[in-house]
Chain A
Amino acid sequence: MKNKGFNAFEMAKAQFDKVADMLSLDQATRDLLRYPLREYHFSIPVRMDDGAVRVFRGFRVQHNDARGPAKGGIRFHPQETVDTVHALAMWMTWKCSVVDIPLGGGKGGVICDPHNLSQREQEQICRGWVRQVARDVGPFRDVPAPDVMTSGQHMLWMLDEFETIHGGKYPGFITGKPVGLGGSLGRTEATGYGVVFTVREALKELGIQPKGTIASVQGFGNVAQYAIQLYHQMGGKVICVSCWDQADQKSYSFRKKDGVDLDALLKITDRFGGIDKAKARDLGYEVLPAEAWIEQEVDILMPNAIENQVTGENVNMIHKRVKLIAEGANGPTTPEADAAIKNRGIFMIPDFLANAGGVTCSYFEQVQCNMNYFWEKDEVLGKLDVKMTSAYIAVSELARKQKLYMRDAAYVTSVSRVAEACRERGWV
C-alpha cells in the first residue's frame, strides 16, 4: 500500500540481501530469490450496480514455489501497489519455509475499496480475478486465501468460478473458506493464536510468567481479536488496542488501564475491526491518538494491523518496560526501527514467524480438502500449536547458537531451506 514513500519491496529485498550475505548465497540463487518467479497483472472490468462499468487492477505474484505450490492471500485495498504485493509474496515464501510446511510464497490483490462496493460488485471482482488467472493458479500451483478486507465469502465466490471454469470440484484451490463448505475449524483463530503461541514460548525463554504481563495491541481485526483472547486466557492483560476509523479515515487507540474487555469491545466493533468511539467512551475507554498504542507502559507490544507501523519516527516512543514485540502483522517494523529495537535489547518475534499460524492452518485446510476429511477443532489447534512451537524453537535455538537477532535467525532458517530446495531441483 502507498505509505509516505515507504516501499515494502525495497525493504523485503534489503532484508533478503542481508541474509544472503550471512548465508554466502551464490549470485544465481540471490537473483532467483530476490524477485518473483512469476507475476500477473490484469484488469477486471465490472458492471457496477448503477450500470456503469469500472475497471479494477488486479495482481497475482508467485515469488517462489520450489518447496510446494505458492500460497498467499488476496488483498482488497484502495492503496494497493504491486510492490507491496511483491514484498508480501516474498514474505510468504519465508513464512511457509520457517514453519516448514510444503508450500511456496505468493500474494495477490485488487485495487479497490470494499467499504464502497456492494456485495454483488465484490462478487464480480472475485469472479473476474479468477477468470484472469484460472490457468495459473490451482491446488497444485498456487493456492489463494483471504487477506486484508477479503473473507470466506470472497473465497467461495472465487472457488465457484474456478470450479466452473475447470469443470470439477477443487476445494483445495483456495483456503479460508467457511466451515462446512471446505473450511477448517480453527482457521479463524489460527493467526491470532499462533502469535500468542510464539509469545508464550518467548516468555518462557525470558523467564517471565504470562500471568501478570501487560500488552498493548495495534489493530483490532481478526488477528488482534484472537491474539487478545488467547493471551487473556493465558493470564495476560491487554490495556490498549488501536484500530482504523472508516468515517474519520484515521486510526485511534483505545485504552483501559485495568484491562480491555474483549467481549464488550467486540459488541461495538464493525466487521472490519473498527471500534465505535462513542460507545467505547461510554464503556470507560480513553480514546487516544493513533500512535498511543506504542507508548504504553507494557511488557509486550503486538503490532497486529498492517505494515510500516513501527518506524524510525515512533520507535523511541516505545516504553522502557517493553521486553517483547510480537509482529502479528506483515512487515510492521521498518529496518530503521528494527535496528533501534535490536539495540535496545527488546526481544523480537519477527512477523513471518509470529503470524505464520494463519498459513499453517491454511495448509491444514488444504490437506483436509484434498482428503475430503475434516478434523475436530482441538485436533487442528493442537497441531497448530506444535507446528508453531517447533518453528519458534528451531529459530530461537539458531539465534542462541549463532548469537543472531531473532529476525535474522528466522530469515537464515527459512531462506536456507528455500535455497536448498532450489538447488536440489537443479534450478541454481
Chain B
Amino acid sequence: MDVPDIPRFDRKFFDGKERFTRIGSGAVGGKGAGLLRIHALLLSRLEPDAFPAFAVGIPTLTVVATDMFDAFMERNRLHEVAHSDLPDDRIANAFQKAELPTEMLGDLRGLIEKVHQPLAVRSSSLLEDALYRPFAGIYQTKMIPNNQLDADTRFRRLVEAVKFVYASTFSKSAKNYVRMTDRGIEDEKMAVLIQEVVGRRHGDRFYPDVSGVVRSYSFYRSGHARPEDGVVNLALGLGKSIVDGGLVWTYCPAYPKAPAPFGSVGEMLDQTQAEFWAVNMGKPPAHDPMNETEYLARASLLEAESDGTLWRVASTYDPASDRVRPGLSLPGPRVLDFSPILVHERLPLNGLVRRLVKDCEEALGEKVEIEFAVTFDEEADGLARFGFLQVRPLVVSHEFVEVAKAELTADGVLLASENVMGNGSAEGVRDVVYVRPGRFDPSLTRVAAMEIATINNRLLEERRPFLLIGFGRWGSSDPSLGIPVDWGQICGARAIVEATLPKMNVDLSQGSHFFHNISSFEVSYFCVRHDTDDRIDWEWLEGRPPESDTGLVRHLRLAEPLAIRVDGRTGRGVIRTRG
C-alpha cells in the first residue's frame, strides 16, 4: 500500500497536528497498512460518545517507510550478509554496524529530542501486506524506555532498535517462514513503526493496565461458544505475555462472565498470569542492542499490587472457603481473572472490544485479530485510554469436514482428539516428528526445541510437510511449561499435536502462541490430554523404523501419507495411518 495520504513526519511527535505520520515515501507494510485503515475507521465510525468511559485511539506513531529499508540495505551492501547462512546474531551485528540512511536521521533525531517516554519500535513487513498473511512473532519488536536525560543516548537507542528490527527480517525463523509462502525473502521489505507505548509509569516500570488480543473467529471452543463468537486474551502489562504464549486470561467475548474452564481453584491459581512484562525505566541494563528484551523487565503480582494496578483486574483467593473472591480487600493470593471488568463490569471493555471487532470486520470484509492496550488514568478525566495497536486479517477455512465421534476409536487411528483447532483435511503428510514419551523430561525441553528445529529446517529444504508431536505448551517462553520453540523452528509442520504426560501435566496452550500462524497456514492443532479419551498410538509410532533418532526426538518417514481430518465446527479431529 503506497502512502501518499499519510502526512510527512514534521518532527513534532506529540505536538504535531497529525498522530499518524511517515518518514520516507515507500510502502508502510502490513501492520502500518492495517493501522492506517483503522485510523480512518476510528475517525469515521466510532461516535465520540459511544463509549464515554474510554478515549479510543491509535497511539501516536510514525512509520519509516520501506524505501528507507532499501536505502539502508543497498548503501551498506548488506544483501550478501543478509541472505547468507550466518547465525542470526552475526547478521544482527552487521546490521548494527551499518549506517541508517541520511534522509531519515534528522527525523529520528528531531523525534527523540522532544520525546522522553517509552517507544515501541515495531516491524511492519511488506509481504505481510502483499500476501495478506500475518507474520505474528516472526519479526522483532523492541521497546525502549527513552527516558535518559541525554538526547544523544536516546537517539542511539532508537537507532539501534531500528537496525534490530531491520536485522530481524533476515533471521532464520523469518527466512523459514517466508519459504513456506510462495515468495522469497528477497521480496521482503521492512517498514518500521515507531509508536508511543500505551501505559503509565510506576517507579521503574512502565506498562499498560491491560493488554489484549481479540480474534473474531476461533476454532477453539469452550462452553457454549461458537467459532464465530471469537476469543479474547487479556494480560496485565505489555502484550508480550500474550504474544509469547504465556499464561493469560482467555474468554469468549460473547460470554465474558462464563466461568473459566479450570478443574479446580488450585488449577486456576496455577494457570493464570503470575508475572507480567513492563518497560524497564530504572537502572540501564547491560548494553545488548541485539536482544529484544534488553529494556524489558518481568515483575510479579506483588509488585503490581504495590504499583496499584491490580484492583481493576484481580480477585483474591480465600483459603478458608477455597473460593476466589472479587476484589483485593481480603489478604491472600491474587488471581488475575479480570473479573472487576468482565464480571462486575466496572468498565465496559468487553462491549468496546466487540464493537471494534464488528467495525473492523465490516471495514476489512473478513475476520480479524486486534491487539490493544488499556490504561486507567484516574487523573485524565477519569477516562480509560484504549490504545488500538494492531489489526490483522484472519484466514479462516470453510471446508466442510465431518468427523463422527465413532471415528475417533476406529482401527487405524494414530491420533484422535476432541479438542482440535483448525478445519479441513490434509493430504500428503508422510513425515512424523515426535518427542518420545519414554525419554521426555521437562528439563529437556530446550534440547528438544533445538533438535526439532534442525529437523524442521531439513524438511523445509526438502519441501516435506510433517506431523509434529510434543509435550506441554508449544512455544512457551517458560521451558518448564513446554517446548520453547518459536514459529520459525516448527513452521514446516502441517499438523501440530500438543500432549500432556503425568510429568508434564499443564494447561495446554490451545495454540495460543501460534494462533495466527497456524490459522493462516491452516495448520491443524491437536490437543491431547493423557487423562481423557483422546489418544495417540505411541506403540505404532515406536514400532516404525526412524529416518533419524536423537534419542529424545524421532523422525519417521512413512510409505503412505497420513489422513488428517479436522471438523472445525465440533473441534473433533483424527489422524489415520494407511499402511
| Partner-B contacts on A (CB < 8 A) | 189, 193, 197, 204, 211, 230, 233-235, 375-379, 381-386, 388-389
Q: Are B152 and A378 in contact (CB under 8 A)?
A: no
Assembled-state Cα–Cα distance A384/B103 (Å): 11
Q: Are B152 and A385 in contact (CB under 8 A)?
A: no
Q: Are B102 and A381 in contact (CB under 8 A)?
A: yes
Residue from B8, B71, B108 within 8 A of A382 (CB atoms): B108
A and B contact pairs by CB, cutoff 8 A, 14 listed:
A193-B102, A204-B8, A230-B102, A375-B152, A378-B99, A379-B155, A382-B106, A382-B108, A382-B159, A384-B106, A385-B106, A385-B109, A386-B109, A386-B110
Assuming A204-B8, A382-B106, A385-B105, what are 14 further A-B pairs, CB within 8 angstroms?
A197-B106, A230-B102, A233-B101, A233-B102, A376-B159, A378-B99, A378-B100, A379-B155, A379-B156, A379-B159, A381-B106, A382-B105, A382-B155, A385-B106
Q: Are B108 and A234 in contact (CB under 8 A)?
A: no
How far apart are A282's CB and chain B's nearest CB, in angstroms? 27
Is B188 in contact with chain A by the CB < 8 A criterion? no
Assembled-state Cα–Cα distance A382/B104 (Å): 8
Q: Are A386 and B101 in contact (CB under 8 A)?
A: no
9 nearest A-B residue pairs (beta carbon): A385-B106, A382-B109, A382-B105, A386-B109, A381-B105, A378-B100, A381-B102, A386-B110, A378-B105
**Number of chain B residues whose Cβ lies closer than 8 Å to a Cβ of chain A:** 20
How far apart are B105's CB and chain A's nearest CB, in angstroms? 4
Is B25 in contact with chain A by the CB < 8 A criterion? yes
Assembled-state Cα–Cα distance A378/B103 (Å): 10
SS of A interface (majority): helix
* B159 cross-chain contacts in A, Cβ below 8 A: 376, 378-379, 382
Q: Are B103 and A234 in contact (CB under 8 A)?
A: yes
* B106 cross-chain contacts in A, Cβ below 8 A: 197, 381-382, 384-386, 388-389
Q: Are B109 and A233 in contact (CB under 8 A)?
A: no
* Nearest B residue to A186, CB-CB: B102
* Nearest B residue to A380, CB-CB: B105
Is B113 in contact with chain A by the CB < 8 A criterion? yes
* A193 cross-chain contacts in B, Cβ below 8 A: 102
| Partner-A contacts on B (CB < 8 A) | 8, 11, 25, 71, 99-103, 105-110, 113, 152, 155-156, 159
* A379 cross-chain contacts in B, Cβ below 8 A: 152, 155-156, 159
Assembled-state Cα–Cα distance A211/B2 (Å): 15
Assembled-state Cα–Cα distance A382/B23 (Å): 14
* A376 cross-chain contacts in B, Cβ below 8 A: 99, 156, 159
Q: Kindly name the residue among A204, A375, A378, A382 whose own CB sees the greatest number of chain B CB atoms within 10 A.
A: A382
Q: Are A389 and B105 in contact (CB under 8 A)?
A: no
* B109 cross-chain contacts in A, Cβ below 8 A: 382-383, 385-386
Assembled-state Cα–Cα distance A389/B103 (Å): 12
How far apart are A100's CB and chain B's nearest CB, in angstroms? 14
Q: Kindly name the residue among B105, B108, B159 whose own CB sees the greatest number of chain A CB atoms within 10 A.
A: B105
Q: Are B99 and A377 in contact (CB under 8 A)?
A: yes
Known: A378-B100, A389-B11. A233 touches B71 (CB 8 A): yes
Assembled-state Cα–Cα distance A78/B71 (Å): 42
* Nearest A residue to B156, CB-CB: A379
* Nearest B residue to A226, CB-CB: B102
* A381 cross-chain contacts in B, Cβ below 8 A: 102, 105-106
How far apart are B234's CB and chain A's nearest CB, in angstroms? 39
Q: Are A385 and B113 in contact (CB under 8 A)?
A: no
Known: A211-B25, A375-B152, A379-B155. A389 touches B110 (CB 8 A): yes
Q: Are A386 and B113 in contact (CB under 8 A)?
A: yes
* B100 cross-chain contacts in A, Cβ below 8 A: 378
Q: Kindly name the residue among A189, A230, A386 whose own CB sees the greatest number of chain B CB atoms within 10 A.
A: A386
* Nearest B residue to A193, CB-CB: B102
* Nearest B residue to A393, CB-CB: B11
Q: Are B102 and A385 in contact (CB under 8 A)?
A: yes
* Nearest A residue to B101, CB-CB: A233
* Nearest A residue to B158, CB-CB: A382
* A385 cross-chain contacts in B, Cβ below 8 A: 102, 105-107, 109-110
How far apart are B99's CB and chain A's nearest CB, in angstroms? 5
